[in-house]
Chain A
Amino acid sequence: MEEVVDPTGRIVRDQVEVPGRLGSLDGKRIAFVWDYLFKGPEMFEVLRAEISRRYEGVTFVDYPTFGNVHGSDPEEKANLEAMHSRLTANGVDATIVAVGA
């Protein structure tokens, strides 16, 4: 008879206060944030055109404003730390983050 213990460990998850989703994108300012992989700008270009076609007065903040957020990039940490101030400075209402693969 073998009586065994759990090989994992205690999970301690971050707690984040959830911001509300938007009712409409009309007149909103949307940011693109990129990890500099997998054709992000090409993807953003299609999304920009399609969203602009569907919603009135929508504007965009492009990815260079936020820097590279790829985990191996030496500037990732600084870019994530600056995210709050950059979003605020640019009056961003919603953000599209790409591309995971």
Chain B
Amino acid sequence: MPAVMRACAAVERAGVPAVAIGATSFVAMGRIIGKSLGIPQVKIAEYPGVILVDSDETFAEKVRSSVLPGVLDGLLAAGETVEQETAEEYSPRRVVFGGSLDEVLEHFTVRGWTDGLPIVPPTIERVERFLAFCDRDPHEVIGRVAPEAREVTPWNIAVNGVMAGCRPEYFPILLSIGEIIADPVFRIEDAGSTPGWEPLVVVSGPMVKELGFNYATGAMRVGRQANTSIGRFVRLFMRNVPGLRIPPGSTDQGAIATTFNVALAEDADSSLEAAWPTFGVDQGFAADETVVTLQSVVTISAPIYSGGPADEQLKTIGQLFGDAIGPWFYLALQFGGWHPLLVVGPGVARSLSEAGVTKDALRQYLFENVTIELSELVRYAWQVGSTSFDLAELVDAGRAPAVYDPRLGLERQVPLFLRGEWIGVVVAGHPGRNQSRAYVSNHGQGVRVSRKVVVPQGWQAWRSSR
């Protein structure tokens, strides 16, 4: 729906009336996006029900009986004007409510400002404690994020950090996360799409230890304040600033979706022990810099236990990684931006390294050996909704490698990774077990974006005071 409304806005800006078509359950989402884009007058003709499960006959009948009247109404509603709704007043330092803790929680819950869990009340005093770790103007506009078209500032990053239960000293990390969310490349406006992808924060570098992140046993489990509260911050921020809300909201249409990921912290010591460059270095930063990376995660593999000789371990890692991806990979061919991530247990990394397997060799192995039958991609694409998925066209346009050309036959195995170098590898997890786990990204929505964390003035003083 967001794409349809963006296209409608482009049409209306050209001075041509537009009408949108959308399935009924997406209409409310479309209206909110329309408002943000300055086109509240654009009507949405409704298709009732679920397009892809209707028979051809039912489909045609619904287009005639429901979509067509909506289209005509949208194009012919002569003289109708819709007043642009005035945005509600927002003033960052204004106290919007005062009361007991229970009353504050109720106030925030009623307004949809929480994730369903109690929050820490964001008082000015608490917010300012966070901003003590910020050298920038707290009201500097970092970006504007859809669907609700709100500005991202250090101030509202700090407010949501307070609410999530972060400590003030986490603010430099939160600021980097806010910058990435505001980066148009990341496409936060599409985080309400039906796959229900969730950002994953990866933290690498010195602040992992300085801030007490857990990068060992239970690295992706709630239970350590830094990992948990920063992961929760992302979801709260997405609700309150871009405005992505599940019902009774309408802008998050994740069909089943997943909950927030706790922040993944890298075990740099184990990575270096295996003579593997850290993930932060892989992203182009220096080893002594703290780096925050965000990327989408749409599904997670089964636990990958690997043992024995390196070739056996690689085979198992590839098999279970590939199983998690499956035909979802077609979206990588269609849209690019494919960034699967492998979290490798410290013992596995050491074992592979001792057998001469570098990080690059691991990536290359996965690229060369993990495959899927081409027909599976074509079959699944239609079912997801890509009813025009045309591999031959993508190959001819140079957007998909020639190996995916359906004219060479559909019943053959093709690589399940588009580029070896797009596979992220992070060492973390139980130091005494042989487990890894794979995180599958969405595609062009939530692509991998990294930022160096800027160490604020006073950081050394804070460290010394601990």
Q: Identify which of B13, B99, B163 contacts A7 (C-beta below 8 A).
A: B163
Looking at chain B's contact residues, the main secondary structure is mixed
- Chain B contacts for A81, CB-based, 8 A: 10
| CB pair B386 A36 closer than 8 Å | yes
- Evaluate contact between A14 and B124: CB separation under 8 angstroms: no
- A70 near B3 (CB under 8 angstroms)? yes
Q: Are B51 and A12 in touch, CB under 8 angstroms? A: no
Whether A101 contacts B1 by the Cβ 8 Å rule is: yes
Residues of A close to B91: CB separation below 8 A: 6
| Cα(A83)–Cα(B78), bound, Å | 24
Within 8 A of A (CB), among B48-106: 50-52, 56, 59-60, 63-64, 67-68, 71-72, 74-82, 84, 87-88, 90-101, 104
Q: Which residues of A contact B88 (CB under 8 A)?
A: 11
The listed residue (A1, A14, A41, A95) touching B19 by CB distance below 8 A is A95
From residue A101, how far is it (CB to closest CB) to chain B in Å? 4
In Å, the complex CA distance between A95 and B444 comes to: 27
Whether B16 lies near A4 (C-beta < 8 A) is: no
Chain A CB within 10 Å, residue with most, of B16, B30, B80, B443: B16
The CA-CA distance from A20 to B15 in the complex, in Å, is: 8
Chain B hits for A83, CB < 8 A:
7, 10-11, 13-14
A7 adjacent to B1 (CB under 8 Å): no
Does B90 contact A2, Cβ atoms closer than 8 Å?
no
Pair B388/A72 contact, Cβ less than 8 Å: no
Contact with A37, one of B38, B121, B236, B386 (Cβ below 8 angstroms): B386
Contact B388 A36 (CB under 8 A): yes
Find out whether the CB atom of B16 lies under 8 angstroms from the CB atom of A76: no
Size bracket of the B interface: 35 or more
**CB–CB A43/B21 < 8 A:** yes
* A71-B190 Cα distance, complex, nearest whole Å: 8
CA distance A3 to B125 in the complex (A): 10
Q: In the complex the two chains form, what is the Cα distance from A7 to B11 in whole Å?
A: 34
Nearest CB of chain A from residue B233's CB, rounded to whole Å: 11
Cα(A20)–Cα(B85), bound, Å: 19
Within 8 A of B (CB), among A27-41: 30-31, 33, 35-41
**Contact, CB under 8 Å: B124 / A12:** no
Known: A5-B124, A50-B68. A38 touches B78 (CB 8 A): no
B23 within 8 A of A: yes
Asked if residues A97 and B4 are in contact (CB atoms below 8 Å), the reply is: yes
Residues of A within 8 A of B96 (CB): 4-6
Judged by a CB distance under 8 angstroms, whether B430 is at the interface is: no
CB A73 to nearest CB in B, in angstroms, measures: 6
> Which of the residues A4, A6, A22 comes within 8 Å of B78, measured between beta carbons?
A22
- Say whether B95 contacts A24, CB under 8 Å: no
Q: Is B17 among interface residues, defined by CB-CB distance under 8 A? A: yes
Which chain A residues have a beta carbon within 8 Å of chain B's beta carbons?
1-25, 30-31, 33, 35-43, 46-47, 50-51, 54, 69-74, 76, 80-81, 83-84, 87-88, 92-101
Between-chain CB contacts (< 8 Å), 24 pairs: A1-B98, A2-B123, A4-B98, A5-B93, A8-B243, A11-B36, A13-B149, A14-B38, A16-B38, A21-B77, A25-B75, A25-B76, A33-B11, A38-B387, A43-B21, A43-B67, A47-B67, A72-B334, A72-B337, A72-B444, A83-B7, A87-B14, A87-B16, A100-B44
Contacts A9-B152, A16-B39, A98-B4 known; list 17 others, CB within 8 Å.
A2-B100, A4-B122, A12-B149, A13-B149, A14-B36, A15-B84, A18-B12, A37-B385, A50-B68, A71-B6, A72-B187, A72-B190, A72-B445, A81-B10, A97-B11, A99-B22, A100-B1
**8 A-B pairs with the lowest CB-CB distances in the bound complex, closest first:** A100-B22, A100-B1, A72-B444, A14-B38, A11-B87, A9-B150, A98-B21, A16-B38
